Structure 1
């Protein structure tokens, strides 16, 4: 007798349903890490809630029979304007980043791979040829460049430099305790959580052997095939490295010699500096609400930044995307594409690679419906005139 209705129908109809399934399947500590937001979570909530303040102005006549959703980001063709944002160790599924990369490839889109990923860059690029390697300013210039060049040799098509992180400690409502490494002591402490999540535990057993989730950072190693530091060891080195200057970023961009994105831009003056150093793209991002709490939602900041530099640099948005209509709103306000984080992680947790494909399908179908309802033939036709926005919606700062 099947008691779990999700076992009969693994497809979920919304990203919210994927989140509910992830919560049901994952141990409490693991799930908590997927919803974490800095301090009181004001920014994390605003990233999502701000979209509900934007209305759509549909046409009832003029529906186009076919819609064009494709675009390009940093020289790579995307079947639709949604790509995978880099996130750290993905221990919600044994295949982690490799499963996500396969899903992205199956849906014709690109993936940002974190330096703190649990899978080596070589294994990820082997299953998706549209990988952008994300890098933190960690260690010396020589070490940073060696890390970037290893990714390029593996086939990474672009570099994403994440700049928006200040190491805020904790949330007002509590943060999950993540072990330094998964050893016997850690497993014993987590055993009560895992015991009540049998499906999660079974997923980590293959051929009668228990697979221990890898909490190391193999892409921060001294080279291909060499062991990387623990996840928190890498974080510790990052925290002890002086933050980069704009001159540092320009140096790295010149040494990289290919498509280059600055991720974490919220200010107009920073957007202009990204143009000045010759960056290919920037992402309007507040680290998913995990940087400075109280930073406005990225969709509030997007219009001003897109208007200021959108004709000089590719502008992407990262933060709060849960529906295809959210994607359409971002495009109408000047984004070339969006990057998703929590949404695909919930899909991965809910149903592995198929769950990530499910999330991407939902966003694509939702976007297509909005473009159709607005009477457009292409995503390139989306403009602010398609939206209903209150006068006090936008935020803009750092103007010079």
Structure 2
């Protein structure tokens, strides 16, 4: 008897279904880490709910038979305006970031690889040549630059500096207790959760041996060395003074290649990103895992894109669950979007194939929206395609 209840029909029709299957498949602690937000989860909810307040204004005559979805981000040609956002250590699937990279490569798109990834960057760039390496400001300038240069040597095509993070006191909203390392004590505590998820447990058995998830972060040390535990690295991060704009400009000048600043929600910060010579910026609030109570990213996207969109590539990160969400972001000035939870749910539901499934759903949803709007290309999308309620958009800073 198969342990996979979806063996006959592994395809899922919506990202919501991917989430449902991931919840059924993953141990409670693992799944909870994929849905957690900060404090009351106000920003987490707004990231998703705000999209439903935007409506379409379609033309019904003149539907285009062929539609163009391709774009480019930081010098990389993409067949659809969706790329993988960097996320930290993954115990969702034994192949972790390598499985995600393969899925992105199979669909021709780019992937951001987290500083806190569980797989070395060399393994990830070996299966996808469109990798952007994400940097947290952790340690000394020399250590940060060493990590960046290792990524460049491994073939990373660009650098993403993440700034949208606050160190909250206490646990995040809905977040489980994650062990320092998966040792015997942790396995005993987690055993009841894993025992009721046999399909998840079986995926970690290879060659008759059980592979224990590794909660270390190998990309924070020179290649070949064992990285610190996730919480060891987190502690070092918390004790490193946050970067200034001067720090970011220094790193940008040291990095000879495309450079993204992730975490922008204010117009004045967007202008600063332009001033330091960044190639791109991501309008992001860390998926609702930053300062709770900040607006949904789609609410602040338009004013930022209107102000700096001719000077820098503008992306959006946060709340994307459907192809229609992507189209709404593009109509407000985004060049592309980055997805996080959506692909992690796909990974939890069906491994690499599940991530490909999510990307296919978004691509089909984008294409359907273009057809409904009678647009031939994503580059034709404008505000005229949307009905924007009064007070929806928020211009922060100036």
TM-score, normalised with respect to structure 1: 0.98
RMSD: 1.1
For residues 90-146 of structure 1, what are the alpha-carbon distances to aligned partners after superposition, in whole Å with 9 as ceiling and x for unaligned? 110000000000000000100000010000000000000000000000000000000
- 1:1-400 to 2 correspondences below 5 Å: 5-170=5-170, 174-221=174-221, 223-399=222-398
Q: Distance in 1 between matches of 2:152 and 2:337?
A: 23
How far off its partner does 1:380 sit? 0.3
Give the gaps of 5 or more residues in structure 1.
none
Evaluate the alpha carbon distance shift between residue 145 and residue 2 of structure 1 in structure 2; reply closer, same or farther with a 3 A threshold: closer
For residues 55-77 of structure 1, what are the alpha-carbon distances to aligned partners after superposition, in whole Å with 9 as ceiling and x for unaligned? 01111111111001000000000
How far off its partner does 1:167 sit? 1.1
Q: Distance in 1 between matches of 2:377 and 2:175?
A: 43
Evaluate the alpha carbon distance shift between residue 290 and residue 3 of structure 1 in structure 2; reply closer, same or farther with a 3 A threshold: closer
Evaluate the alpha carbon distance shift between residue 224 and residue 171 of structure 1 in structure 2; reply closer, same or farther with a 3 A threshold: closer
How far off its partner does 1:295 sit? 0.5
Contact in 1 for aligned 2:164/2:290 (Cα 8 Å): yes
Contact in 2 for aligned 1:298/1:318 (Cα 8 Å): yes
Q: Distance in 2 between matches of 1:208 and 1:173?
A: 38
Using the TM superposition, name which of 26-35 and 174-183 deviates more: 174-183
TM-score, normalised with respect to structure 2: 0.99
How far off its partner does 1:175 sit? 2.5
Q: Distance in 2 between matches of 1:353 and 1:291?
A: 28
Give the gaps of 5 or more residues in structure 2.
none
Q: Distance in 2 between matches of 1:373 and 1:283?
A: 28
Q: Distance in 2 between matches of 1:175 and 1:103?
A: 27
How far off its partner does 1:396 sit? 1.4
Secondary structure of the structure 2 residue equivalent to 1:72: strand
For residues 38-66 of structure 1, what are the alpha-carbon distances to aligned partners after superposition, in whole Å with 9 as ceiling and x for unaligned? 00000000000000000011111111110
Evaluate the alpha carbon distance shift between residue 344 and residue 43 of structure 1 in structure 2; reply closer, same or farther with a 3 A threshold: same
How far off its partner does 1:169 sit? 3.2
How far off its partner does 1:177 sit? 0.3
How far off its partner does 1:305 sit? 0.3
How far off its partner does 1:171 sit? 5.5
Q: Distance in 2 between matches of 1:174 and 1:356?
A: 24
Q: Distance in 1 between matches of 2:381 and 2:170?
A: 39
How far off its partner does 1:389 sit? 1.0
Using the TM superposition, name which of 162-171 and 323-332 deviates more: 162-171
